[in-house]
Amino acid sequence: MSDAVTAWAESHLGECLVLVDGRMAGSGFFVAPGMILTCAHVAGPTASQVRVQWQGVPHLGTVLDASPPPTGAATLWPWPDLAVIRVDGLTGHPCVWLTTRMPGLGNPCVGAGYTSTLAPALKPAVGLLHLTGRHDFPPGVLLKISHEEVTPGMSGGPVLDPATGGVWGVVKAKRDHGGGFVAPLIGLRHLAPAVHRALWRAHDLHHRRADHHRRPAFDADRSGTYVVPAEERDLRGILAGLPEIPAEQHRADYERSAGPLAKPPSAPHHDYGDVAADLMGLVAPPAGEPPQVLAYAADLARRHGELPELRDWLLYRAGRLGVSPVIRNRLTETSSTAPVSVMVRLRPAGNNHLRYHVTMWRYVDADHVVPVVDDLDAVPWPEARQRVQDSLVEQIRQLTAHERDIMVEFILPQELLNEPVHSWALWRSRRWETLGSKYAVVVRDLERLEDAESMAFLKRRWRMTARQFLRSGLVSVHCDDRRSHEAMWAWIGGHPLLSAVALPGPPDDAPSRVALEVALPEGVPALAWCGMRCEKCSGDACPVRLFQSALAGSLAETRHDALPQRVLELRRAAAADNHWGRDLVLLWDDPTRRPPRQQMLPPGEAEVA
């Protein structure tokens, strides 16, 4: 840390520091015009009045929001122990720049606060601190700092990283053996969303307009890679002017931009700046690929074409990082209209087809597949079914932000293909709604999806038939069909444009089983059947033949790639007319829609009998 940075940090923090007299006396600091950040145990409860003193002049403030107090016998204020105070009419003061980038362990920091050490009353003090460790404090984490002079009056004071010039945390409490704890700023996202947005937007707009020529050169701003703090400050200032959108949309944007590196956020996304901060916290991408935050900025620039400053910011940074071609391609992408989906896979535990591993993903496109459930422990089918049912509604809700059709794709071993997943009633307040009458529900064969040869046949047939109408691609296998596997193979193989087969019943019945066992490795993309079984009747009165005839008529003008949505319409119609569509099962495989490559199974599992 240079002498210039040290001198600036001491002066800057001293100018932004305020004395807070609320529930107790402590410290606070200006983060936006008229807005002060401090600890909740200093300020007191939400809506309470507090006195603040800046440069010797007293002012009256209001607590906009504060973390709730401890309950029971607990004395330490719960995480994150933060509060925001508004002082009306107070302007002309400096504000710290906030950052969620935290320094590494052992790095020096600069802290400020009020202390009574060597003085009869609280006086401002600035000192050098060192980050020495982490302390789990559920549901968050605190950072340990070393400094002999951390006193109770310093609670609520800022901690600044001299490498970035940004304040990353708030002093929370002293430790018994010297030093103290710091609450990182990620905790702000656990305050009321409206207060969080108001604070960060006011902060970001202020620092976009602020004159930073008095700031020294920081080490992080000299970096030749990724997005440096000065660029982050400019970006957040632009994002602070965008219209508010639902939290679900922010999460969807984060997942799309993060791609395979997406992970469950440690705190909610209330605004654009939260998404940008989390993306900048991810591992840097391989050489030649843009940082995730640039991908996010490109998506926003495409969505908000009326903001040339966002596009200008993006293209300049893309040029500096050598990723202009990739970013320009992303800027010109057209929005996909393909359905998004929840993918559910039930995989048997080795040879034990009585126990299953549950894995679930949210699928948006081939580059945006988010794992949401991955159970390493195999459980019996009833438990696996309950696990899926307990998770589905929330995962579907997360997909609504994409404003596209939603599918549910069940990837199942053959013994589960006839499970009535489409008839699950998951909405307790609306028991009349079933999964398959509300969303397009399809089943897919697990073995085919994981067999390279079968997938090659599927891809070839899909390319030829995906956009053809089913009047020429759908055939039926009747309940009196007695063809052998060899004869069925010759028949299907001789019809390369065959894209769908109507089975005479569930796939465990003899004619259906033969057709399914041949059609899947031959690459037939779709098979459909009804829950009814053959009753050994004959002629036109056979209910299976009536079903197959009605199905062919209903699907004649449907393209193969639109088949799931058409089956959804038939299931909805069946809810009113009680016809065969109620029990219709669709096996439909689009080879371009695939979950990520599976991790290895636990050792020894393949030998389970």
Number of domains in the chain: 3
According to the model, what pLDDT value does residue 539 have? 59
HSE, side-chain direction, 13 A CA sphere, residue 231:
25
**Quick one: how far is CA 228 from the chain centroid?**
24
| Beta strand pairing call for 526-529 and 500-502 | parallel
Sign of CA dihedral 382, 386, 387, 389: positive
604: left (phi over 0), alpha (psi -120 to 50) or beta: left
**Percentage, residues of the chain above pLDDT 90:** 55
Tokens of 221: 């701003």
Assess whether 31 and 123 both reside in one domain.
yes
- 127 belongs to a structural domain: yes
Tokens of 363: 């699928």
Assess whether 16 and 133 both reside in one domain.
yes
Q: How is residue 57 annotated by DSSP?
A: E
Assess whether 97 and 228 both reside in one domain.
no
Query: What single letter denotes the amino acid at residue 124?
Result: P
Assess whether 276 and 161 both reside in one domain.
no
Domain boundary among 194, 209, 241: 194
What mean pLDDT comes out for the span 86-90?
92
d(CA 589, CA 519): 12
Look up the domain containing 303 and give its range: 223-331
- 339 belongs to a structural domain: no
Greatest C-alpha distance within the chain: 104
Which of 74, 520, 471, 5 has its CA nearest to residue 214? 5
Q: Which helix (H) or strand (E) holds 502?
A: strand 500-502
d(CA 279, CA 261): 9
Assess whether 58 and 179 both reside in one domain.
yes
Domain boundary among 310, 331, 352: 331
Per-residue model confidence as pLDDT tens digits over 297-329: 999 999 888 789 999 999 999 998 889 999 999
Per-residue model confidence as pLDDT tens digits over 161-189: 998 899 999 998 765 556 688 999 999 99
Burial class of 157 by CB neighbour count within 10 A (0 to 12, 13 to 18, 19+) = buried
Domain boundary among 276, 300, 331: 331
- 424 belongs to a structural domain: no
DSSP states along 460-491: HHHHHHTTSBTTTTEEE--TT----HHHHHHH
Whether the CB-CB separation of 38 and 17 falls below 8 Å is answered with no
According to the model, what pLDDT value does residue 72 have? 78
CB atoms within 10 A of CB 605: 17
According to the model, what pLDDT value does residue 406 have? 95
Per-residue model confidence as pLDDT tens digits over 332-382: 877 778 899 999 999 999 887 889 999 999 998 887 888 888 888 899 999
Assess whether 462 and 562 both reside in one domain.
yes
| Beta strand pairing call for 585-588 and 526-529 | antiparallel
**Quick one: how far is CA 593 from the chain centroid?**
19
Assess whether 161 and 295 both reside in one domain.
no
Which of 43, 52, 59 has its CA nearest to residue 17? 52
Per-residue model confidence as pLDDT tens digits over 194-232: 999 999 999 999 998 766 556 777 766 666 557 888 899
| Whether pLDDT at 535 is above 70 | no
Whether the CB-CB separation of 269 and 275 falls below 8 Å is answered with yes
Average pLDDT, the chain: 87
Residue written as tokens 């989390």?
Answer: 278
Report how far apart the first and last C-alpha atoms of the chain are (Å, whole number): 63
Assess whether 472 and 558 both reside in one domain.
yes
According to the model, what pLDDT value does residue 284 have? 79
Crossing angle (nearest 10°) for helices 308-321 and 229-239: 160
169: left (phi over 0), alpha (psi -120 to 50) or beta: beta
Among 359-373, 417-431, 437-451, 594-608, the minimum mean pLDDT is found in 594-608
3-state DSSP percent of the chain in helix, strand and coil, to 5: 35, 25, 40
Angle at 395 between CA 390 and CA 399, to 5 degrees: 160
Tokens of 27: 């410290």
Whether the link from the prior residue into 80 is cis, omega within 30° of 0, is: yes
Tokens of 408: 């549910």
- 265 belongs to a structural domain: yes
CB atoms within 10 A of CB 283: 7
Assess whether 189 and 233 both reside in one domain.
no
What mean pLDDT comes out for the span 476-487?
90
Assess whether 458 and 313 both reside in one domain.
no
Residue ranges in 80-217 assigned as alpha helix (H): 193-209
- pLDDT tier for residue 83 given thresholds of 50, 70 and 90: very high
CA separation, residue 601 to residues 378, 381, 561, 606 (Å): 11, 18, 33, 8
- 3 state SS of 324: helix
d(CA 183, CA 131): 12
d(CA 179, CA 171): 10
Per-residue model confidence as pLDDT tens digits over 236-269: 999 999 999 988 889 889 988 988 788 778 889 9
Q: How is residue 367 annotated by DSSP?
A: T
Whether the CB-CB separation of 228 and 378 falls below 8 Å is answered with no
Query: What single letter denotes the amino acid at residue 295?
Result: A
**Quick one: how far is CA 557 from the chain centroid?**
38
SS3 sequence of 234-285: HHHHHHCCCCCCCHHHHHHHHHHHHHHHCCCCCCCCCCHHHHHHHHHCCCCC
Which of 313, 228, 312, 241 has its CA nearest to residue 271? 241
Which of 287, 297, 281 has its CA nearest to residue 224? 287
- 247 belongs to a structural domain: yes
- 218 belongs to a structural domain: no
d(CA 409, CA 325): 35
| Whether pLDDT at 598 is above 80 | no
Tokens of 508: 């465990």
According to the model, what pLDDT value does residue 519 have? 95
CATH number at residue 57: 2.40.10.120
- 123 belongs to a structural domain: yes
Query: What single letter denotes the amino acid at residue 178?
Result: G
| Beta strand pairing call for 17-21 and 49-54 | antiparallel
d(CA 16, CA 112): 10
Assess whether 47 and 132 both reside in one domain.
yes
- 95 belongs to a structural domain: yes
d(CA 362, CA 373): 10
Choice between 603 and 224, residue whose per-residue pLDDT is larger? 224
How many residues make up the chain in this entry?
Answer: 609
Q: How is residue 437 annotated by DSSP?
A: H
Burial class of 260 by CB neighbour count within 10 A (0 to 12, 13 to 18, 19+) = exposed
440 Cβ neighbours under 8 A, 6+ residues apart: 339, 405, 406, 407, 408, 564, 565, 567, 568
Assess whether 156 and 259 both reside in one domain.
no
Which of 385, 465, 453 has its CA nearest to residue 419? 385
